[in-house]
A = this chain, B = another copy of it.
Amino acid sequence: MAGGLTHLNEKGEAHIVDIGDKAVTRRRAVAQARLVAKVETIAAIMGGSLKKGDALAVARIAGIMAAKKTSELIPLCHPLALTKVVINIDVEDMDAIRIEAIAETTGQTGVEMEALVAASTAALTLYDMAKAIDKAMVITNLMLVEKSGGKSGDFTRL
């Protein structure tokens, strides 16, 4: 371990850390992202004539499929078999959408990265669909909300 970073050895070289001796437990993580945009952009994504449109479904599917790709994207993540993925998308303020991603597995390592990748990809997919009308949107508050299972203990953002 180098400087506290578990993914680097004492020489600072990256590796996938050994989890072969860790217990198989039920693990869960919840992450979120916030997409801040103009009021009209939020309305275009969430409401009005689009109520029956695919916009939120596309973002949900993107988040779900990205969760399954996490170990291809984050170089030092262990591959794992997700047992559940849920994406919730809600208006938080007139100018902000909140994306929540829930990931679960039964295995030897946690699913924090899967939840974070799902939340950021769903948010970026909303950006992609609305960027023709508003390039200045910002994704913020991309973070872990809670985590349970595994030896390192539970985490809940206060």
Contacts and interface: CB of A to CB of B under 8 A. Distances in A.
A83 B75 contact: no
A98 interface: no
A7 B51 CA distance: 15
A53 B140 contact: no
Contact of A14 (B52, B57, B142): B57
Chain A, interface size category, equals 35 or more
A56, A61, A121 pick with most chain B CB within 10 angstroms: A61
Interface of A: 2-8, 11-20, 26, 40, 43-45, 48-58, 60-62, 64-66, 68-69, 71-88, 104-108, 112-113, 116-117, 120-121, 123-125, 127-133, 135-144, 147, 152, 155, 157
Given A61-B61, A64-B75, A8 B83 contact: no
Given A106-B20, A139-B120, A3 B49 contact: yes
A69 B61 contact: no
Given A82-B78, A83-B108, A113-B128, A53 B8 contact: yes
